[in-house]
Amino acid sequence: MSDITADGLVTGSPTRIADVVAKSLVKRRAKEKRFRMYGIAAVAIGIGFVLLMFGTILNKGLPAFWQSTFRLDVTFDAAALNLPTRPVREEGQSMAAFQQTLYEWQNQVTMANWNGLIQTSLQKYLPDAKPASRLRALVSSGERFRLRDMVLADPNLVGQTVTVDLLADANVDVWLKGNIDRDLADNQYLLSPDQRAWSDQLYEQGVIRMAFATSLFTNVDSRSSPASAGLLGAMIGSLFMMLIVILVAVPIGVLAAIYLEEFAPKNRLTDLIEVNINNLAAVPSIVFGLLGAAVFINWMKLPLSAPIVGGLVLTLMTLPTIIIATRAALKAVPPSIRQAALGLGASRSQSVFHHVLPLARPGILTATIIGVAQALGETAPLLLIGMSAFVANVATTPFEQSTALPVQIYLWQANEARNFFEARTSAAIILLLAMMMMLNAFALVLRRRFERRW
Amino acid sequence: MKFATLASASALALSVVAFTAPASAQGRDTIQIAGSSTVLPFASIVAEEFGNAFSNFKAPVVGSGGTGGGLKQFCEGTGDNTIDIANASRAIKKAEVEACNKNGVKQIVEVQFGFDGIVFASATGKAQFALEPKHVYAAIAAQVPVDGKMVANPYTKWSQVDKSLPDQEIVLVIPASNHGTREVFEEKVIHPGAVSYPEIKALKGDEQKKAILGFRQDGRVIEIAGDYTETLARLAAQNDAVGVFGLSFYDQNKDKLQVATVGGVTPSLETIAEGKYPVSRPLFFYVKGEHIGKVPGLEEYAAYFLNADISGSGSPLVEAGLIPLDDAKRAEVLKAVKARTVAQGS
């Protein structure tokens, strides 16, 4: 034991003190080292999980961007199709009546034997395949409408031979990609043994090849021909919702923040408001979904499954985020700027709008983008307002029914054609993540370029 | 100020959005459907084909929510933001018809379009099951009769229930009560299984009901509120489990599932259509008569659904796992739709 005198000097053996210090030093260093190790381990575990997640998703999803596609020479044989002649508007026929006959004609065109064309062109490669209808089933069933649309767009095609890319059936894609075990018993496959053999044969001949899956971007969801299921409808739906969030949440949020930060008196009421805004930011998103269903659909009578409702619900969810972040950005502008403006005779609103707000803009923009990115990935509230429906149309206004990207992922993962949609779902996830990362990177760039520090 | 103009422009846009909303909600031109998740794949296929076949109508929008949820939405009233069609994997109930009527939905047109089988399936590579309803009951009930007395379920392995069954732990993955499938499962499997015991047959009223539908709570019965993919994931995690699936789901996933026979009959399109396989049910959708003529294409959709090329044998729906009605019955249903015969409920 060493004694410490009143003036702080240590009496007794000096070596013993050095020992104590040295001993504790080892301990302290070890502690420091340990703590760093914990830190590194925590970071490594975090990165490990992220890499694992991205790895599995990329591994599963990337192959789905390429899809088994037939390249066929299709002859639009006039005799085989036997198309009705396009009606001509008669003298004195009203526009509505003409439109009606035009619809009827189009419906008849749809009924023509488009599948027969596909069957004939396939038989060129496998003349011995019997029954031919089973051979035709290798092509996705919705592709007949592609041929129809080609002819509707250009009637002169009838009689000509055109090289067309047609999607293979989902089961063919699953088989060729090896997404289903190749050694199962015959009755465990959806394709018959001869269909599997034909697929392999056509793949070797180069009739079927892996082409970039443009269908993923140009088609809407499909259940009758899963191979052509795409994300266009969902992407448009998400886009509409994001626009609504930006148009509604940003002005309301920014104005509320400006008022609270710059103009509002500091009293109990504004304190209460502030506390509640913070509370609102912590409310689980599903609650906003319930609220949206009650207010926007049942009370305001907005249409079901429409992006307008989804957008408004997401707006409610994003508002607190934007208000809080905008207030923080305003707070970061030094008071000297306001004082200088006021001192030079500016009014309070002039000082805010001419000086404070421009300086806070990068912060506000960043907050908005992050809020929008968060809203883009939100699923739960959308399920409650009926946006999980199967929609085979592309919405042209926010009032038409639509799905959204995250909901589409939810729907696809539950699809019964599991072998095909597992990869498709991962591809959709990759797209969604890519969009989020782009938004976040954009926010980062804005912050880096425009942020000013004092 | 630039920012101020931006702000006022977006405020303007906001008010435009808010005010045009009610206006454009009028005169919906897309049929809105909700309900049973069993019917959803079939209805979606028809919706898509309908949109392709009729250039003057848009493809209907098909939502889920379960039979009960769909009918509840259906009965909320008439008007543009109520649904036009409810998909159901059971017939509408009297109480639901009354709820509908109270809210002004009086013309409930019932359309039966086929059957669906409910199958028991286990993971491939495990033992084959040949089940009887009484086996399932004995495996699932909280209390079972042993030597004339009701005792807490003593069975932990299938082989203890019946010697013919595999020596495998009892784990049953069944749909939760939000699914229409659950009701059919109880009615067509559990009930007949239970009353095959004279002790339970002798019970009366509520006491009998309790004995039949009281399921064990020791973790061997797993209820799934989600869809069949979730049940399948359960089977992948718990290899011993036996799951309850729709026939169409099983058909699409034969690489992972093997089906059990019930009463010695293997479920298939044929055995269910012939009525040999006991666990099947009719599938319906209900059309809101008040909306016919207001929402374009509603009656055409119902008629199109009953077209032989859509739901007859060899049609896309049958390929997707639907068990079709015979032609005579389909014609009869179509006639009732055209006449707008109102459903009474059961």
Answer yes or no: do A269 and A294 share one domain.
Answer: yes
Average pLDDT value for residue range B45-64: 91
> pLDDT per residue over B234-269, tens digit each?
998 988 899 999 888 898 899 999 999 998 999 998
CATH number at residue B312: 3.40.190.10
Instruction: Using the predicted structure, report yes or no on whether residue B312 has a pLDDT greater than 90.
Output: no
What per-residue confidence (pLDDT) applies to A6?
A: 52
Please indicate, yes or no, if residue B20 is contained in any of the structural domains. Answer: no
Determine, for residues A417 and B13 on separate chains, whether the beta-carbon distance falls below 8 Å: no
At B325, which amino acid appears? L
Q: How many domains does chain B have?
A: 2
Residue B54 lies in a domain: yes
Closest CA to A416 of A145, A202, A240, A190: A190
CB–CB contact A416 B3 (8 Å): no
Do residues B209 and B231 both lie within one domain? yes
Q: What is the pLDDT of residue B22?
A: 44
Q: Could you tell me if A402 and A328 lie in one domain?
A: yes
Chain A positions in Cβ-Cβ contact with residue B15 (cut-off 8 Å):
none
Those of residues 105-144 in B touching chain A at CB distance below 8 A are: 124
Domain membership flag for residue B56: yes
Residue B268 inside a domain? The answer is yes
Residue A4 lies in a domain: no
Same domain flag for B192 and B154:
yes
Nearest beta carbon to residue A107 from set B53, B124, B253: B53
Are B256 and B318 part of one and the same domain? Answer: no
- Looking at the domain assignment, is residue B3 inside a domain? no
Q: Is B3 left (phi over 0), alpha (psi -120 to 50) or beta?
A: alpha
How do the pLDDT tens digits run along chain A, 454 residues long? 445 555 555 555 667 888 888 888 888 999 999 999 999 999 999 999 999 999 999 999 999 999 999 999 999 988 888 888 888 888 888 888 888 888 888 888 888 889 899 999 999 898 888 888 889 899 998 899 999 999 988 888 888 899 999 999 999 999 999 888 888 888 888 898 999 999 999 999 999 999 999 999 999 999 988 999 999 999 999 999 999 999 999 999 999 999 999 998 989 999 999 999 999 988 998 999 999 888 998 888 888 889 999 999 999 999 999 999 999 999 999 999 999 999 999 999 999 999 999 999 888 888 888 889 989 999 999 988 888 889 998 999 999 889 999 999 999 998 888 899 999 999 999 999 999 999 889 888 888 887 776 6
When pLDDT is averaged across residues B95-102 and rounded to a whole number, the result is 93
**A45 and A117 part of one domain:** no
Q: Which of the two residues, B9 and A52, has the higher pLDDT score?
A: A52
Q: Are B40 and B70 in contact (CB under 8 A)?
A: no
Predicted local confidence at residue B21, as pLDDT: 46
Provide the domain limits for residue A221.
66-227
- Say if CB A138 and CB A199 are below 8 A apart: yes
Q: Do both B121 and B236 map to the same domain?
A: yes
Q: Does any CB of chain A come closer than 8 Å to the CB of residue B172?
A: no
Query: Comparing B46-55, B144-153, B259-268, which segment has the lowest mean pLDDT?
Result: B144-153
Q: Would B2 be classed as within a structural domain?
A: no
Last residue of a domain, one of A6, A37, A62: A62
Share of chain B above pLDDT 70, in %: 92
Residues of chain B in contact with residue A389, where contact means CB-CB under 8 angstroms, are 33-34, 61-64
Long-range contacts of A437-441 (CB under 8 A, 24+ apart): A439/A369, A439/A370, A439/A372, A439/A373, A439/A376, A440/A369, A440/A370, A440/A373
The overall average pLDDT reported for chain B is 86
Whether residues B96 and B124 share a domain: the answer is no
Same domain, B334 and B262: no
Under an 8 A CB cutoff, do B32 and A305 touch? yes
Residue at a domain's end among B242, B262, B280: B280
Indicate whether A1 belongs to any domain: no
Say if A255 falls within a structural domain: yes
Task: Please name which of A386, A413, A309, A222 lies closest in space to residue B70, comparing C-alpha atoms.
Answer: A386
Q: What is the full DSSP assignment across B117-186?
A: EEEEEEETTS---EE-HHHHHHHHBSEEEETTEEEE----BHHHH-TTS-S-B--EEEE-TTSHHHHHHI
pLDDT at A41: 97
Query: CB-based contact (8 Å) between B3 and chain A?
Result: yes
What pLDDT was estimated at residue A177? 92
CB-based contact (8 Å) between B10 and chain A? yes
Strand pairing of B85-88 and B280-288?
Answer: antiparallel
Please say if the pLDDT value at position B311 is more than 60: yes
Same domain, B125 and B228: yes
The whole-number pLDDT of residue B10 equals: 53
Written as six digits, the tokens of B292 are 């016919």
- B284 CB within 8 Å of a chain A CB: no
B209 in any annotated domain: yes
pLDDT band at B226 (very low <50, low <70, confident <90, very high): confident
Q: Which residue carries 């609102």 as its tokens?
A: A280
Rounded distance, CA A52 to CA A443, Å? 26
* Residues B8, B9, B13: CA angle, nearest 5 degrees: 115
Query: B252 to chain A: which residues are within 8 Å by CB?
Result: 190, 416-418
In which residue are the tokens 């782009």 written?
A: A438
- A5 within a domain of the structure (yes/no): no
Q: Answer whether residue B197 is part of any domain.
A: yes
B63 and A222: CB-CB below 8 Å?
no
Residues A178 and A160 in one domain: yes
Cβ-based contacts of B83 with chain A (< 8 Å): 304
A281 plus A389 within the same structural domain: yes
Partner B, chain A 199-238, Cβ-Cβ below 8 Å: 222-224
In a shared domain, residues A162 and A215? yes
Contact A337, A418 (CB under 8 A): no
Domain membership flag for residue A8: no
Residues A202 and A274 in one domain: no
DSSP states of A306-360: -HHHHHHHHHHHHHHHHHHHHHHHHHTS-HHHHHHHHHTT--HHHIIIIIIHHHH
Domain end among B250, B280, B310: B280
Domain extent for B275: 117-280
Q: CA-CA distance, A248 to A367, in Å (whole number)?
A: 15
Give B342 or A237, the one with higher predicted confidence: A237
Do the chains contact at A414 and B253, CB–CB below 8 Å? no
What is the domain count for chain A? 3
A254 and A275 inside one domain? yes
Residues B218 and B267 in one domain: yes
Instruction: Please indicate, yes or no, whether residues A56 and A78 belong to a single structural domain of this protein.
Output: no
Print the SS3 string covering A18-42: HHHHHHHHHHHHHHHHHHHHHHHHH
